[in-house]
Amino acid sequence: MTMSDPTPKSFDLRSLVESRRDETIDLLREHINPKLAKVFSMIGFDRVYPRGEGAYLWDREDRKYLDCLSGYGMFNIGRNHPVLKQAVRDYLDMDDAWKIQMAPMTLPGLLAEKLLSKVPHLQKVQFTNTGTECVEVALKFARCETGRERVLYCERAFHGLTYGSLSLNGCPSFREGFLSFLPGAVSVPFGDLVALEKALDLAPTAALFLEPIQGKGVYVASKEYLLGAQELCRRHGTRLVVDEVQSGMGRTGKLFAFQHVEGLEPDMVLVAKSLSGGLVPVGAVLVRDETYEAVFSTLDRCVVHSSTFAQGGLAMACGLATFHVLETEGMIDNAADKGHKLIEALRGLVPQFEMLKEIRGEGMMIGIEFGEPKSFTLKTGWSLLHKADVGLFPQAIIMPLLHDHRVLAQVAGHHVDIIKLLPTLTWTDEDVRWFLDAFTQVLERCHRFPGPLWTTAKGLVKMAASSRH
Ligand SMILES: Cc1ncc(COP(=O)(O)O)c(C=O)c1O
């Protein structure tokens, strides 16, 4: 519209998106991330899903898919939950001021009250916009409260990809190329109390950052390790920071994974992803009063940490609606039930399939690890593939899962033979069967060498080699 045009055209989002759907992968390639577009095309993950609901996606031919990764764990309550959609509509219809900055707001207070009612040993909430920002807050707060610089994190840890959180990343491939990191960030082996005690004895330490279940590879911390780590941290004046960005909001069958362990009371709890039901960026750091007082120590410092969009009205409204859904629809119990069924059934497959090594997890956070087979022919295929490119084997599993069974899954990290399931908490027994039937068929095929999976894998090796050249 020009200033002289008296009839403004309305903005028609649906038509705009529909008219450009064919170009989806081209838009990604041209304007955002050509390498990612190439990977999607190589493995056949370049299909477009115009619709999502609950645990399912629909492609352009209206075929239904079972989603096993729920946007990396952001849709715990399922996509487009009607309660959440209604909350968004209501919020917009309220003409709320959204965010004023220089005035108190009702919605953030209500969501903070709700979060703290679930973690009663903590007393204040610092809202953020993402998971990585939660980690940045926890780093600042722990250093400020203790006056110490050093922080510990675990091998294989993933806490996000900004500089502070990347400094706590236990996976070299994420760190490569980004030069120096936060001084004083030191890694310790996950699950090793002796090593942790040594590290804490070595120098005063502000905090230990822990995922109760590590997302990269799905390694579950034992109760003994978590309680031991808490005891050691208390003895050394070190803050225990539990990162529940992925494991929280009901995923493991409790609201937070640390709540499986009686007596565990972390000094800080980090929540993001599914806190808003996945619709709006959000994060929250739950802390003790002492931590709050140390950071916001004077009236001058009342906004010493903040972020323009944090406590945004829509994010807060979605958070409250998400809690309502979790509390009224039995989703957390359902996650425990379906997760247990999945884990038990998958463990039952281990003796039947020699390349299936171990099943780990809790609730709807499950790792499926493959390992080198014993029989000669399979061993040959396995070594050839791993020599050509470590980390391609699980790709060759997730590809037929998608192409032949319409099951969308992901690999659990770089250079590992692990697949991760992070489904919505809404799965039914039928969904569990859908996944298990599909997975069993893919396993059967990959235990035939030569066979279709190995042909797929060979194709992948070739494509990976040619793209490197
Ligand atoms: C445990 C954990 N912490 C932090 C993050 C970072 O969250 P975000 O991607 O919202 O920055 C993630 C993301 O996957 C995560 O799994």
Arithmetic mean of pLDDT, 366-395? 89
Q: How far is the CA of 411 from the centre of ligand 1 (A)?
A: 16
| pLDDT score, position 384 | 84
Are β-strands 268-271 and 283-287 bridged in parallel, bridged antiparallel, or unpaired? Answer: antiparallel
* Whether residue 298 is found in the same domain as residue 357: no
Q: Which atom of ligand 1 is closest in space to residue 132's alpha carbon?
A: 11
Q: Name the pTM for this structure.
A: 0.96
Residue 30 has pLDDT above 80, yes or no: yes
Residue 171: count of CB within 10 angstroms of its CB? 18
Pocket test for ligand 1, best of 72, 216, 245 (most atoms within 8 A of CB): 245
Distance CA(223)–CA(259), nearest Å, equals 10
Residue 26 counted as domain residue = no
Distance CA(230)–CA(196), nearest Å, equals 11
Q: Which atom of ligand 1 is closest in space to residue 134's alpha carbon?
A: 4
Q: How far is the CA of 247 from the centre of ligand 1 (A)?
A: 10
| pLDDT score, position 49 | 98
Q: Which of 304, 328, 352 corresponds to the end of one domain?
A: 328
Residue 241 counted as domain residue = yes
* Whether residue 72 is found in the same domain as residue 124: no
Pocket test for ligand 1, best of 163, 218, 243, 273 (most atoms within 8 A of CB): 273
Q: How far is the CA of 385 from the centre of ligand 1 (A)?
A: 31
Q: How far is the CA of 412 from the centre of ligand 1 (A)?
A: 14
Q: What is the CATH number of the domain that holds 57?
A: 3.90.1150.10
**Taking CB atoms and a 6 Å cutoff, what residues make up the pocket around ligand 1?**
72, 130-132, 135, 158-160, 211, 215, 243, 245-246, 272
Within 8 A by CB and 6+ apart from 285, the residues are 125, 126, 127, 128, 134, 137, 138, 141, 268, 269, 270, 271
| pLDDT score, position 463 | 77
Residue 146 counted as domain residue = yes
Q: Which atom of ligand 1 is closest in space to residue 283's alpha carbon?
A: 10
* Whether residue 164 is found in the same domain as residue 286: yes
* Domains of the chain: total: 2
pLDDT band at 1 (very low <50, low <70, confident <90, very high): very low
Decide: helix, strand or coil at residue 285: strand
Arithmetic mean of pLDDT, 192-205? 98
Residue 213 counted as domain residue = yes
Six-digit token pair at 101?
């900055």
* Whether residue 335 is found in the same domain as residue 323: no
Distance CA(341)–CA(347), nearest Å, equals 10
Residue 37 counted as domain residue = no
* Whether residue 90 is found in the same domain as residue 217: yes
Q: Which atom of ligand 1 is closest in space to residue 272's alpha carbon?
A: 10
Arithmetic mean of pLDDT, 66-86? 98
Boundaries of domain holding 117: 82-328
CB 196 within 8 A of CB 187: no
Closest residue to atom 13 of ligand 1, CA basis: 160
| pLDDT score, position 468 | 65
Q: Which of 313, 328, 343 corresponds to the end of one domain?
A: 328
Chain CA centroid to CA 453, Å: 28
Closest residue to atom 8 of ligand 1, CA basis: 131
Closest residue to atom 4 of ligand 1, CA basis: 159
| pLDDT score, position 4 | 59
Q: Which atom of ligand 1 is closest in space to residue 211's alpha carbon?
A: 1
* Whether residue 234 is found in the same domain as residue 324: yes
pLDDT tens digit sequence for 447-462: 887 887 788 877 877 7
pLDDT over 90 percentage in the chain: 88
Decide: helix, strand or coil at residue 361: strand
pLDDT tens digit sequence for 394-441: 998 999 999 999 999 999 988 899 999 999 999 999 999 999 999 999
What are the CB-based long-range contacts (under 8 Å, 24+) for 228-232?
Answer: 228/193, 228/196, 229/193, 229/196, 230/263, 230/264, 230/265, 230/266, 232/193, 232/196, 232/197, 232/200
446 vs 161, residue with greater confidence: 161
Q: How many CA atoms lie within 13 A of 63 on its CB side?
A: 11
pLDDT tens digit sequence for 227-279: 999 999 999 999 999 999 999 999 999 999 999 999 999 999 999 999 999 99
Arithmetic mean of pLDDT, 347-370? 97
* Whether residue 248 is found in the same domain as residue 388: no
Residue 173 counted as domain residue = yes
Within 8 A by CB and 6+ apart from 153, the residues are 159, 167, 168, 169, 170, 185, 186, 187, 188, 208, 209
* Whether residue 56 is found in the same domain as residue 155: no
Closest residue to atom 16 of ligand 1, CA basis: 246
pLDDT band at 338 (very low <50, low <70, confident <90, very high): very high
Distance CA(428)–CA(190), nearest Å, equals 33
User: What is the length of the chain?
Assistant: 469
* Whether residue 192 is found in the same domain as residue 115: yes
Arithmetic mean of pLDDT, 355-359? 97
Peptide bond into 351 cis (omega under 30): no
Are β-strands 407-408 and 64-67 bridged in parallel, bridged antiparallel, or unpaired? Answer: parallel
Average pLDDT, the chain: 95
pLDDT tens digit sequence for 304-329: 999 999 999 999 999 999 999 999 99
Q: Which atom of ligand 1 is closest in space to residue 165's alpha carbon?
A: 4
Q: How far is the CA of 151 from the centre of ligand 1 (A)?
A: 18
Residue 2 has pLDDT above 70, yes or no: no
Q: Which of 290, 309, 328 corresponds to the end of one domain?
A: 328
Q: How far is the CA of 210 from the centre of ligand 1 (A)?
A: 12
Residue 376 counted as domain residue = yes
Q: Which helix (H) or strand (E) holds 381?
A: helix 376-388
Closest CA to 358 of 348, 366, 369, 349: 369
Within 8 A by CB and 6+ apart from 145, the residues are 206, 239, 290, 291, 294, 295
Q: What is the CATH number of the domain that holds 95?
A: 3.40.640.10
Residue 6 has pLDDT above 70, yes or no: no
User: How does DSSP classify residue 184?
Assistant: T
Q: How far is the CA of 87 from the centre of ligand 1 (A)?
A: 25
Q: Phi/psi at 126 (nearest 5 deg)?
A: -110, 115
DSSP secondary structure letters along 2-48: -TT-SSPPPP-HHHHHHHHGGGHHHHIIIII-HHHHHHHHHTT----
Angle between helices 106-118 and 313-328 (to 10 degrees): 40
* Whether residue 59 is found in the same domain as residue 106: no
Q: How far is the CA of 463 from the centre of ligand 1 (A)?
A: 30
Within 8 A by CB and 6+ apart from 417, the residues are 357, 369, 370, 371, 391, 393, 394
Residue 204's alpha-carbon distances to 91, 106, 288, 295, in angstroms, are 47, 40, 20, 19
* Whether residue 302 is found in the same domain as residue 322: yes
Arithmetic mean of pLDDT, 66-94? 98
* Whether residue 362 is found in the same domain as residue 379: yes
Pocket test for ligand 1, best of 133, 135, 158, 162 (most atoms within 8 A of CB): 158
Residue 12 counted as domain residue = no
Closest residue to atom 2 of ligand 1, CA basis: 159
CB 279 within 8 A of CB 365: no
